[in-house]
Structure formats: C-alpha cells, structure tokens
Structure 1
Amino acid sequence: MNIKALLSTAILTLSMSSTAVIAGDLKVKITRDIASVDVMHNGKKVTIQRNQNNKNNVDPRFAKTSRNCPPFCINPIVLAPGVETLGEVEVLDYLKRMSDGDSSILVIDSRTPNWVKAGTIPGAKNIPWTKLSVKKGADPLSIAEIVTEEFNGKELDDDKFDYSNAKTLVMFCNGMWCGQSPNNIRTLLKMGYPANKIKWYRGGMQNWENLGFTTVK
C-alpha cells in the first residue's frame, strides 16, 4: 500500500472513531479498525456496514461471470491518465467527508435508473451516463446544466467551462466489466474536466455486493 492509500485509511479511521466504538461488537467489520460508517442519503442517516451473516451469498444479479464482450469488456485498472482508481475504503472516506459537509465532493452512480432502483451505495447521487451523452439524446443545454448545477463548473463562451471550483467526482457503475461510469468519465474528460478531480471506483456494485456492504433503494 502506498503512502497516499495509507494516509487515506488513517484519516478514515480517525473520522470513524466514534462510529467504530459504537459498532465495536460487529463480527464482520470493514477493516480491523472500522466497523461501520454513517453517511447521509436523501437527508437521512444510513449506516454502512457489512452483512453479519457468515452464510450470506452475493445477490444473483452480480454473480454472473460471463457477459458478451463487446459491450461488457473488462476495463483496465487505469481508465485514463490522471484519473485515480479507488477501492472500497477510499470510497467510504469520500462518502463520509461528503456526508460531513464537504461540498467539494460528489459520489455518482452512473447507471441507468432501472439498475439504481434495485439498490445503490448510500450517499451516492444518480446521474446516468446517458444524461451526459449527446449520442444518447442528451441536449447541450441539459448537459451544461448538470456541469454547472451538479458539478459546480462555470459556463464560459463557446461551450467551454471553467473548472477551477469544480467538485471532485467519485464515479461507479456495475463493476469492472461495466461501461457506464467509464463513459461518463471519458465524456467529462473530453469536455475539459480536470482528470485529478475525477475518481473511479472500478469494482462498482459487483464488488460492493460481493463484500456484503449496505445498499439503499
């Protein structure tokens, strides 16, 4: 584990200290030092923890191993230069910071609504990849509205944006074979969004479900 990852884990552990004490009797923890994480979802507190049933099995929707490629091809660890790939502990850190009032962070479920209805990561906001894709019918005005109102970009002339105060976006979809969050990320990069302000949870819902984490509908 590199220094950045160690620091992220240490910060998360410290910020979770009170929660970890309360949930200290959990047998299936997130890490040795973190038992659960409280985040806000649609104005309500949700406790993220792992399923405590040692006989629990993964949701069948995420148990399938073989999907036709294309379109369901396995994505590389590094999706694009400058875009950081995250694991679950780092995603929890961003969720906690956002829930604690850090308005510079936005965790995004890039999937279409039919997937999201079945369950998503607590604290995430659904912005389907189709909403940023002209090829999928999104018009430039609605795209600009998302960039300015959701991502805190500032619209300039000639369909360009000032991203100096733009949010750090943490994007995910169904997993390493899913193209929905990669499509969102590539679209934003083409629009000039800074790569260092885009994070990608490659494991997505498949890894989240495999580890028995809390989801919300």
Structure 2
Amino acid sequence: MKRTVLACTLMAISTASAAELLPVTADAVFTFNGQEFTISRASTIDQTTITALSQTSATCPSPCLSPMVVARNVPTMGELEVIDFLSNQVESGEGLLIDARLPADRALGFIPASVNIPAATVAPTNPYRDEILMALGAEQFQGVFNFTDAMSLVVFDAGPATQDASTLITDLLAAGYPTEKIGYYRGGMLVWSTSGLSTDAATQ
C-alpha cells in the first residue's frame, strides 16, 4: 500500500514537473524577408494533402523509412525545435529552413518561410552547385570553400518515407559544410501537417 502511494506521489510530481517544462506556447510569430509569418496549430487537417505526403517517392522506393540519424553530429529535430529555429536564426537572418523536395512536391504545401533547394541541386555533378553553396554564405578561393560565415540550415522533405533531405545533407557535408551548421527535421511535411501546424501554398 505504501509503495502504491509513493509511486502515485512520484508520478504526480513527475507530471507536474513535466508540465512546467513542456513549452505550451501561443502562436509563434516571426519575420522573414520583410514578411510576417505565424505558426499555429490549425483545427482542421487537409486529408488529401496528408494522403499524398504519405506516399513513397522515387527517391525512397517502397518499403522505405529514412534514418532517424542522417549523419554523425547532425541533430535530428522535432517540431518545437523547428519553430524555435524559425523564430530565432531564420528571423535574425542567420539561418534558412530548407525544403529539399522538387517544386512539384512542394506545391502540395510547405512550411512557412522555408526556401526550396531540391536535393539534386547540391549533388557534386550539378555544375551550379558551387553557386548554391556561395548563396548559402560559403566563400570560395582557388577551388576551396570556407564555411565560416555560412548560414545555419535545417533541412526537411515530405517525411519519413522519403530521402530528399538526407541526400541533400549528405552532399552538403561532402562539400565541406560543417555539421554544427546543419539540422535535420525528419518528420517533414507529413508530421508537420498531421500535427495541424501552419502550412503555406503560395508560390515562391
């Protein structure tokens, strides 16, 4: 009996502590490229979009699940970390949220203030890869890149059944992009949408 009471007491204390630590926040509001964005949880979910996002793609033939850890020392992030990244690094101009999908897939909807850099554009075989790396803040001298002033990135794709994000991250690392400047949002649009978080469908 005493053990049961003690266990219940510990659970109550643990639950109270967790409630104090869990960030139950209001809408996240931030500015990107002079435009104000708001991330909130919607009351309805577009089932058609979710069904489309649930399908595997050519980049990850069925059956397929992307890895939980995409590369050593590259953190895997959840929704709250992505929102924090948007509200801080993206708003301050120090970071970018990268959508690694093809434009046709992005047309299904995307995370507000994200920018589209399809995975294939950072492949070593792409003749414009170096220009993209420099657009991200890297400096090149005699064929060698310096990433000291490169932007911090968080990369996502359609979700756990695709590998566009992991491909993009792998190629960024191969080019010399530092691991401490890259984050991986594995949940992607599938988890973001099913969580009821704000999406955008406007063309960019």
TM beyond 0.5: yes
Report the equivalent of 1:48.
39
CA distance in 1, matches of 2:59, 2:104: 21
- Over the residues paired in the alignment, what is the CA RMSD in angstroms? 2.4
1:145 has 2:131 as partner: yes
SS of equivalent residue, structure 1 residue 84? coil
8 Å contact 1:175–1:207 — kept in the other structure? yes
The offset of 1:41, in angstroms, is 5.2
Residue 130, structure 1, aligned to residue 120, structure 2: yes
Q: Distance in 2 between matches of 1:69 and 1:44?
A: 33
Structure 1 residue 60 displacement after superposition: 2.3
Call closer, same or farther: CA 1:69–1:41 in 2, change over 3 Å: closer
Choose 187-196 or 44-53, whichever is displaced more: 44-53
**Match for residue 162 of structure 1?**
146
Q: Distance in 2 between matches of 1:90 and 1:129?
A: 22
**For 2:96, what is the secondary structure of its paired residue?**
strand
TM-score (norm: length of structure 1): 0.74
Aligned-pair identity in percent equals 30
Distance 2:199 2:106 in 1: 10
Runs of 4+ in structure 1 off by over 4 angstroms are 66-70
Give 3-state SS (helix, strand or coil) of 2:76's partner: strand
Asked if 1 retains the 8 angstrom alpha-carbon contact of 2:60 and 2:163, the reply is no
* Selected match of 1:116 from 88, 106, 122: 106
- Equivalent positions of 1:164-203 (< 5 A) are 164-203=148-187
5+ long unaligned stretches in structure 2: 1-19
The change in CA–CA distance for 1:111 and 1:84 in structure 2 (over 3 A counts) is same
RCO comparison, higher one (Cα < 8 Å, 6+): 2
Q: Which residue of 2 aligns with 1:107?
A: 97
Q: How far apart, in 2, do the equivalents of 1:119 and 1:41 lie?
A: 18
List runs of 5+ in structure 1 lacking aligned partners: 1-9, 14-30
